[in-house]
Amino acid sequence: MEIRQQKHSNKIRFAFGEEALDYSLEDSSGSRSYSVPYTDISRDRQTLVERNQWLGNVGMLWLLLGAGLTAFSFMGDGGPRVSVWFWVGAACYAAYRYRTTRFTIVPTDKGNLCVIDDADGQRILAEIESRRAQQFRSEYDFMPEGDSPEQHRARFKWLHKEGVLSDDEFRQRMATVDALDPARVEQGVLESGMRLN
């Protein structure tokens, strides 16, 4: 499955493989690409608003130049008039303020994934989360022989914290561990015996 996004100078490609996401980004500053396993993708989400800094700088420069020329025209014989550079600067600065690209930033071990905030962006984030949970489940959602009940509990707590197990699934896993834990079983027998007496 592949999803591509494009806005202004940003071209982003997400290719969803079985075990890893192939990511590439091309923008005005260059390009980069890498492949990252789903388990190396963080649950953290950050936001970024990108603006064209060149438009902002040129707009301010032309606004100042236009304001200076307009002020200078007050001293001339032709009467006051607004310089064309003022309007050009205002247009550039308005484009800088309103021509933005919003991203959701998803950290990974290899770098940040930039997802443009649009309808496809929500699909991409949902697909990443789904495949991430699926890979965590296939690699870690089991009870290895030889591990202690405390190790099993720690494993399931970690999976729950990573968003892989729902609250109900987490409770079910913990109940299974408790049922197999001899210390817990013995404690339960003692408690039920005390209630009977």
Structure confidence by residue, pLDDT tens digits, 10-62 = 899 999 999 999 999 998 778 899 999 999 998 888 888 876 666 666 777 87
Does position 120 have pLDDT exceeding 60, yes or no? Answer: yes
pTM above 0.95, yes or no: no
Confidence at residue 47, expressed as pLDDT on a 0 to 100 scale: 86
- Per-residue buried b or exposed e for 40-78, using 16+ beta carbons within 10 Å of the residue's own CB: ebeeeeeeeebebeebeebbeebbeebeeebeeeeeeee
Residues linked to residue 112 through DSSP beta bridges, in sequence order: 107
Per cent of the chain over pLDDT 90 is 24
Confidence at residue 192, expressed as pLDDT on a 0 to 100 scale: 44
What lies within 8 Å, CB to CB, of 22 at 6+ separation is 13, 14, 15, 33, 34, 35
Segment 2-8 shows an average pLDDT of 88
Nearest to 115 by CA among 129, 97, 134: 129
Confidence at residue 195, expressed as pLDDT on a 0 to 100 scale: 45
Confidence at residue 68, expressed as pLDDT on a 0 to 100 scale: 78
**Residue predicted with more confidence, 191 or 88:** 88
Round to whole Å and give the CA distance between 134 and 112. Answer: 21
Structure tokens at 38: 């789903």
